[in-house]
Amino acid sequence: MTTIDTERAVTFERQEGHPRNPGMPLDLDWLHQVHINRSAVERRAATLPARRTVKKEWQAAWLLRAITCIDLTTLAGDDTPGNVKRLCAKARQPVRHELLEAIGAGSLPLTVGAVCVYHNLVPIAIESLRGSGVPVAAVSTGFPAGQNPFEMKLGEIEASVRAGAQEIDIVISRAHVLTGNWQSLYDEVKAFRAASGEAHMKTILATHELATLRNVAQASLVCMMAGADFIKTSTGKEAVNAILPVGLVMVRAIRDYAERTGYKIGFKPAGGIRTAKESLDWLMLMKEELGNAWVHNSLFRIGASGLLADIERQLSHYATGHYAAAHHNPMA
């Protein structure tokens, strides 16, 4: 077994080297020019898992990078302070130290990208992560359905920011997209951004509920115009969550926005990403479509709850030649 050459592989320090998106006026002409060739998108998405693979120490290095991009998430009805504390402990030390030592990565400052919880558990998460540098993200604005009154949505954001959340994951009103009411969507997201203040705002589109890929592309652009720091595929509660064709449409909207405005917007696929192989597919999508700047947790996150356990299992196989028993990989 070859240890990871950290000079050749990846670096793990947090990067904040790009200016925050200030937004721009709503440009309806730009939206009307958006057209999506669904067949071409699906063909391109289908090639990604097949034509790009990484093996051995390079695969281990990419899996470590994937860990740094995980928003480690618990959004269940039976969440308790104890569950959140345990999740935060895993966020601080996502891979067993002896396993990191075995693959030559013991000195890497490895943590996840963030911990994502409901608002009422934000204080527990903040206290559990104190001194780690791992930010706390709170879901807001009537997550997951987004059907709360507008003033209540703003109040949720403001309360989470006061509680110390450094990132806010908001959900859009899908009806604005389905009815083509782009001005209302723009105004809503712009107000959410203002309420978020210094906290970075991830805008959840709930893409499975938007009917068409063109709607996904247009909604992505409107949210970026309104000042979103990230655009995110799903709440994790839809029938279909993060899938590569939808991701491809969204990252190309990010590329178009960056080319036109000069501002880099982050991307977060969420929901249904459970295997190490799937995390690599998403990293490859970012690298091929957007470039190296987006293969970092400042511009790329994976919303997941069970993914970390499978990544740790694959790293164990790399280190020892066999897969660890399930009880060796604690809750992720």
Query: Would residue 281 show up in a list of annotated catalytic residues for this protein?
Result: no
Looking at this protein, which amino acid is placed at residue 228? A
Q: What is the C-alpha to C-alpha distance for residues 220 and 2, in angstroms, rounded to an integer?
A: 42
Among 258, 297, 240, CA closest to 91: 297
Active-site hit among 71, 90, 153, 169: 169
Enumerate long-range contacts of 11-20, CB under 8 Å, 24 or more apart: 12/64, 12/65, 12/68, 12/108, 12/109, 12/110, 13/109, 14/133, 14/297, 14/298, 15/296, 15/298, 16/298, 17/298, 18/263, 18/264, 18/293, 18/298, 18/299, 19/263, 20/200, 20/229, 20/263
Query: Would residue 268 show up in a list of annotated catalytic residues for this protein?
Result: yes
- Residue 149 CA, chain-centre distance (Å), reads 26
Q: What is the C-alpha to C-alpha distance for residues 62 and 78, in angstroms, rounded to an integer?
A: 33
Q: What is the C-alpha to C-alpha distance for residues 48 and 142, in angstroms, rounded to an integer?
A: 34
Active-site hit among 71, 90, 268, 310: 268
Active-site hit among 202, 232, 281, 310: 232
β-strand pairing of 70-73 with 302-304: parallel
Q: What is the C-alpha to C-alpha distance for residues 227 and 202, in angstroms, rounded to an integer?
A: 10
Query: Would residue 56 show up in a list of annotated catalytic residues for this protein?
Result: no
Q: What is the C-alpha to C-alpha distance for residues 114 and 199, in angstroms, rounded to an integer?
A: 13
Rounded to the nearest 5°, which phi and psi values hold at 287? Answer: -65, -45
Sign of CA dihedral 273, 278, 279, 282: negative
Burial label, 186 (beta-carbon count in 10 A; 0-12, 13-18, 19+): buried
Residues annotated as catalytic are 169, 232, 268
